[in-house]
């Protein structure tokens, strides 16, 4: 299989690397963070906002779009890109994690997942073939195989059974895909068992995909365990294909996983935390509702060039948040996503210049300082 990935540079001191992934709607420069647009929208952001912060690709949610408004309606509009007015690449997940998170409403069998809609309680069914078909209708650039996410903790028997089912489903997804030009990624499972992770990598590579994702991480396990599983699995994946960790994570997680060879990330953290008034800065986290920012004239982060930091003070952002104004979510989200996108840009440039370890040290040195307050 021809890979959509091209390697541009790698660190001489760790597994960090940068490159590009070619898709139907453009080339993605890696390492990359993908803002999450669950329901064909990144909460608090217009497509123009996303372009302004430098977003290259966004993630949309197959499960939610399958339920509402329905993939057939989106197909009538020519796919997600036209439907939501976003003309750069889109990745759609398969719905596996959402079914896992709604496990009280779902039943997993060999055939697929039977689940109750969280909207109206109706019973629905999603097979591996259905998951691919829905994503083809959505017209995403990168589709994900349907998988079975493993909780933490899980017994070895539970993890083994779910990992084997993920492999069988992956074969069915691969067989069901049509020649649309869309990329299809396989998902490595295995829980927190290194040998099961290794077997899952072997299974996915044997089937053959356009890229490989690590699933079932950041589901409650200790951070050091997540890093260990990521590093072990990433080292086993073919170096000439893109490597993606799903649902990760904090700025620290991004730096550590890039150092272990990961190319692609997504997480709801920057948008969700923005709506809750928690802002990411070069010196750590800032909670804008704190009284110390009542009359603070400085921007959120004096090292940041985002629209929010160029135009608004901490005092104003605190006022908006305390008054529950909609604009608080928008301005906070612009800042948080800009921070994440430009953190990845900084890592990419550091890899090109072979100074990633210096970047990593400076990243942590800045965090040892407190976010200054009045």
Residues with catalytic function: 93, 266
Task: State residue 52 phi and psi, 5-degree precision.
Answer: -65, -35
Does the N-terminal peptide bond of residue 73 adopt cis geometry, omega within 30 degrees of 0? no
Task: State residue 206 phi and psi, 5-degree precision.
Answer: -65, -35
Q: What is the 3-state secondary structure (H, E, C) of 16-29?
A: CEEEEEEECCEEEE
- DSSP code, position 147: -
Q: Which residues pair with 265 in a beta bridge?
A: 33, 245
Instruction: With beta carbons less than 8 A apart as the criterion, state whether 32 and 57 touch.
Output: yes
Q: Where are the beta strands (DSSP E) in the chain?
A: 5-10, 17-23, 26-30, 32-34, 58-61, 90-93, 106-108, 113-116, 123-126, 142-144, 183-188, 211-214, 243-245, 264-266, 278-281, 284-287
Closest CA relative to residue 340, chosen from 91, 33, 20? 33
Q: Is the dihedral of CA 37, 41, 47, 49 positive or negative?
A: negative
3-state helix, strand and coil shares in percent for the chain, rounded to the nearest 5:
45, 20, 35
Instruction: With beta carbons less than 8 A apart as the criterion, state whether 205 and 238 touch.
Output: yes
The angle at the Cα of 221, spanning 216 to 222, to the nearest 5 degrees, equals 140
Instruction: With beta carbons less than 8 A apart as the criterion, state whether 263 and 243 touch.
Output: yes
**Strand bridging mode 17-23 / 183-188:** unpaired
The tokens for 306 are 């985002």
Closest CA relative to residue 266, chosen from 191, 318, 193, 214? 214
* Cα distances (Å, whole numbers) of residue 366 to 50, 260, 359, 362, 372: 27, 22, 11, 6, 12
- DSSP code, position 372: P
């Amino acid at each position: 299989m021809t890979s959509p990935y091209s390697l541009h540079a790698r660190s001489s001191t760790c597994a960090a690397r940068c490159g590009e992934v070619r898709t139907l709607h453009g080339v993605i420069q890696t390492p990359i963070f993908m803002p999450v647009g669950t329901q064909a929208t990144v909460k608090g952001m217009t497509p123009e906002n996303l372009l302004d912060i430098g977003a290259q690709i966004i993630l949309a949610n197959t499960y939610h779009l399958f339920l509402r408004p329905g993939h057939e309606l989106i197909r009538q509009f020519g796919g997600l890109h036209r439907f939501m007015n976003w003309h750069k690449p889109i990745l759609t997940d398969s719905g596996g994690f959402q079914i896992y998170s709604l496990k009280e409403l779902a039943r997993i069998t060999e055939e697929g997942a039977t689940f109750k809609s969280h909207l109206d309680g109706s019973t629905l069914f999603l097979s591996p073939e259905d998951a691919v078909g829905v994503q083809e209708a959505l017209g995403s650039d990168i589709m994900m195989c349907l998988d079975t996410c493993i909780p933490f903790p899980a017994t070895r028997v539970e993890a083994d059974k779910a990992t084997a089912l993920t492999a069988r489903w992956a074969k069915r997804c691969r067989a069901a895909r049509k020649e649309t030009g869309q990329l299809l990624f396989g998902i490595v499972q295995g829980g927190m068992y290194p040998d099961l992770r290794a077997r899952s990598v072997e299974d996915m590579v044997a089937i053959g995909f356009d890229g490989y994702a690590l699933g079932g991480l950041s589901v409650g396990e200790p951070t050091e365990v997540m890093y260990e599983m990521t590093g072990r699995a990433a080292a086993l994946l073919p170096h000439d294909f893109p490597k993606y960790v799903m649902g990760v994570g904090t700025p620290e997680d991004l730096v550590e996983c890039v150092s272990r060879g990961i190319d692609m990330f997504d997480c709801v953290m920057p948008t969700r935390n923005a709506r809750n008034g928690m802002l990411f800065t070069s010196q750590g986290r800032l909670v804008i509702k704190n009284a110390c920012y009542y009359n603070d004239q400085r921007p959120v982060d004096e090292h940041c060039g985002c629209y929010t930091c160029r135009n608004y003070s901490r005092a104003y952002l605190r006022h908006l948040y305390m008054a529950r104004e909609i604009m608080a979510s928008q301005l906070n989200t612009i800042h948080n996503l800009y921070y994440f996108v430009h953190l990845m840009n900084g890592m990419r440039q550091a890899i090109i210049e072979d100074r990633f370890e210096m970047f990593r040290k400076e990243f942590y040195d800045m965090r040892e300082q407190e976010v200054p307050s009045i």
